[in-house]
Structure 1
Amino acid sequence: MLEDTAPPRVEDAEPTRAPREAPLPRLALKPVRAAGNAYSALFSSHIDRGRFDVVEFDWEGLGAKAYDVVVFHWPTEFFRPTSRKATLKLLAKMARDKLRGTKFVWVAHNLEPHDGGSMRSHATALMFTALLDGVIYLSRSSREEARRLYPPLRRTRELVTVHGRYDAARPPRPTTADAWANRLLFFGTVRRYKNAARLVAAARGVTAEPFSLTVIGTADDPALAAEIKAAAGEDPRIRIDIRDAFIGEDELERVVDAHDLVVLPYRNILNSGVALHALGRNKPILAPRIGSLPELQWEVGADWVRLFDGEISTEALEACLAAPLPGTPAPDLADFAWPKIGAEISAFLAALRRR
């Protein structure tokens, strides 16, 4: 005969514990956001927060397994180090974390910094690229050039996406023939490779009427700012506004909207945020036939992306002004929308993490 057993009282029962959720992988971005460049903030804000705990990268965490994935946007330290000895120490810390499972990714905005640091160091650049687990390219042409310069990248997992557009709260004005007045604009950080002085000199020779050029931006090189102002001479059609502080987003939108075409007279370029910023405000661009710009022209159309060969010149400006206006009031930038790009990047980083 079975002995009767009283059911356990509720207070005596073993409590039911909810399964503990594993912490999300720590994704460190260098940087999460940057002054004067909206790209990094757009990048970070479109990472899937259901997959990653996004944090700001700190050099103190390198070598201490503080992060699961590290994404470098502009790793100047490895391409143009101020101290090669200090950079070698950083590379050793990267190698230590890599052995512990940290994944390292480079967003290849440029194949080397345009300025900054004190020396070129192809050796440390090669060591850095050899330690990478993934590369995010913003164009197919940049991938091919990166592989040529840095052979270790030929064996690295990669994502080829596009440079996302810059959207704003205030919708841009459509481009229309009745409002066109040959108002040209150069904007952004003013550096020597961007060739603003030569643009200004070329603009003085333009005979089209009406015509004007505005150069607006920030510069930390007083000699360069003076050179650009001197190139303008007394030409009343040319306005130079070079400042010490970054231009606010609202003011920059108003400035872009007040012009008809944005000129990129750069001597070298790989990918261009200025180009996407201008196109996002429905402004066609004039740019050199280098880097990823021919690819951008193929994607957006030759009436929106107008290219010249060689250096910027009066002839290139006048040929652009003589060309027909874009056939649509706005370019088709659907493929440059950030939700799509963010989903691609998040999936790529998650797949790297699982390897």
Structure 2
Amino acid sequence: MAPRPLRVMQSFRTPRPTTNPYIVMLDQALAAEPTIDHVRFSWREALLGRLDVIHFHWPEVLLEGDRPWKRWGKRQLFRLMLLRTALTRTAVVRTVHNLELPSGLGPATRRLLVALERRTRLRILLNDVTKPAWESATVVIPHGHYVDWFAATPRVLAAPHTLGFAGLVRAYKGVESLIEAFAQTAADRPQLRLRISGRPTSAALRSELESLAATDARVTLDLRFLDEDAFATAIMSARGIVLPYRHMHNSGAALAALSLSRPVLVPRNEVNTALSAEVGEGWVHQYDDLVDADDLRAFDDAVAHEPAEPPRLGGRDWSTVGAQHAGAYRAAVAGVR
């Protein structure tokens, strides 16, 4: 007789139109996986449901609230949830999306997240390079591709000599430095264009981008929230995508660009070097330290012609990702019983 499916609750609720595509695709993959009973998050299930596993992604989201009393209430619920996982021997699994806890947390929230880290029995890593700060069993499950996600989006031809950035504009992503470096190509590459697409996370960042772009007519800004079709179109309209991040661990934006057959320029590190070897020659270009004008010139030259072979993304199929998660859950349950 086949064992009963494991009942696994995720830390995310029902996806919405603005939900991170990674979560949407994982939700779909887990729902299709026959060896688990896939449950989306609710406090009722967390405190009263019969669960084998709780899988956390960005647990700090569960502690957010727009009023102090709401945040206080969620902290009490979170504390009870952790206590129940210990009493019922529910396996706690964490995907390591970020190497460190978020900055700006209050002391009470930080203590709860540290307690969660100590309760975690298995960590899912998105690459072979990640070294978690907390000791536990680990398994590597690569971030799935976006090929199917964008399959219905109409194809767009790339404009020649056009580089782009697409996605939410956060301070750590270094878009200001990209515009400054691009300005230094004006004398020798007047034909080169830069398109920045995506909503800044603050009014101050928006103002800075607008001020920098105002001095260079070759720079185009589209600083609105991008739905998935607009995001894909922004990527496809460029010959290559520049991700000038000051720190990069895993990048869904890089995988999105590769899934849409657009080369990327990214910081040089072990993760991106491994990605380059995985997907094949000509798709992942790297720069050292901060991106500069010479990096942009070299990237412009490189993307003038498409690579000889399409990017190799077969190992990131979401049906495989779903099955790998099911295997990780079984290992986590075995580790607490």
Fold match (TM-score > 0.5): yes
How do 1:177-326 and structure 2 match up within 5 A? 181-206=160-185, 207-243=188-224, 246-290=225-269, 292-323=271-302, 325-326=305-306
Quick check: which has more Rg, 1 or 2? 1
Distance 1:341 1:242 in 2: 33
Tell me, yes or no, if the aligned pair for 2:194 and 2:220 is still in contact at 8 Å. Answer: yes
What is the CA-CA distance between 1:122 and the residue it aligns to? 6.6
Change (3 A) 1:260 1:318: same
The correspondence for 2:10, drawn from 5, 23, 29, is: 29
Q: Secondary structure at the match of 1:348?
A: helix
Aligned pairs for 1:70-89 (under 5 A) are 70-76=54-60, 87=75
1:224 partner amino acid: L
Aligned length: 323
On the 8 A contact 1:79/1:112 being kept in 2, the answer is no
Aligned residue number for residue 169 of structure 1: 151
Separation in structure 1 between the aligned mates of residue 103 and residue 206 of structure 2, nearest angstrom: 16
In the alignment, structure 1 segments of 5+ residues that lack a partner are: 1-18
Equivalence for 2:325: 345
Asked if the contact 2:92–2:121 (Cα under 8 Å) also holds between the matched residues in 1, the reply is yes
Is the contact made by 1:77 and 1:87 (CA closer than 8 Å) also made in structure 2? no
SS in 1 for 2:253: helix
Moved more, 126-135 or 280-289: 126-135
Pair 311,302 (structure 1): closer, same or farther in 2 beyond 3 Å: farther
* Structure 2 counterpart of 1:59, from 10, 19, 43: 43
| Unaligned stretches of 5+ residues in structure 2 | none
- Picking from 132, 139, 144, the partner of 1:159 is 139
C-alpha displacement of 1:56: 1.6
User: Counterparts in 2 of 1:120-139, with a 5 A limit?
Assistant: 124-139=112-127
Offset at residue 274 of structure 1 (A): 0.2
Whole-angstrom distance in 2 between the partners of 1:297 and 1:22: 40
User: How far apart are 1:90 and its partner, in Å?
Assistant: 2.4
> In structure 2, what is the equivalent of residue 40 of structure 1?
23
> CA 1:119–1:300 in 2, change beyond 3 Å: closer, same or farther?
farther
Q: CA deviation at 1:98?
A: 2.7
Q: 1:315 to 1:122 in 2, by over 3 A?
A: farther
Matching residue's letter, 1:255: A
Per the TM alignment, residue 297 of structure 1 is displaced from its structure 2 partner at its CA by 1.7
Q: CA 1:273 to 1:209, structure 2 compared with 1: closer, same or farther past 3 Å?
A: same
> How far off is 1:285 after superposition?
0.3
**Aligned AA for 2:227?**
G
Q: TM-score with structure 2 length normalisation?
A: 0.83
Assess if the C-alpha contact under 8 Å between 1:199 and 1:265 holds in 2: yes
Does the Cα contact within 8 Å between 2:63 and 2:78 map onto a contact in 1? no
State whether residues 108 and 137 of structure 1, in contact with CA within 8 Å, keep that contact through their aligned partners in structure 2: yes
Question: Structure 1 residue 272: deviation in Å?
Answer: 0.6
Take 1:133 and 1:170, find their aligned partners in 2: how far apart are those partners? Answer: 39
Task: Answer yes or no: is the 8 Å Cα contact 2:53–2:92 preserved in 1.
Answer: yes
Contact 1:137–1:160 (CA under 8 A) maintained in structure 2: yes
Moved more, 318-327 or 201-210: 318-327
Conserved? CA contact 1:133–1:157, under 8 Å? yes
| Counterpart residue type for residue 95 of structure 2 | V
Q: How far 1:332 moved relative to its partner? A: 1.3
When normalised by structure 1's length, the TM-score is 0.80
Q: Does structure 1 retain, via aligned residues, the 8 Å contact 2:8–2:55?
A: yes
Q: Is the 8 A contact 2:254 2:264 kept in 1?
A: yes
One-letter amino acid of the counterpart of residue 151, structure 2: A
Distance 1:342 1:252, change over 3 A: same
Aligned to 1:327: 307
Contact 2:59 2:113 in 1 (8 A): no
SS in 1 for 2:129: helix
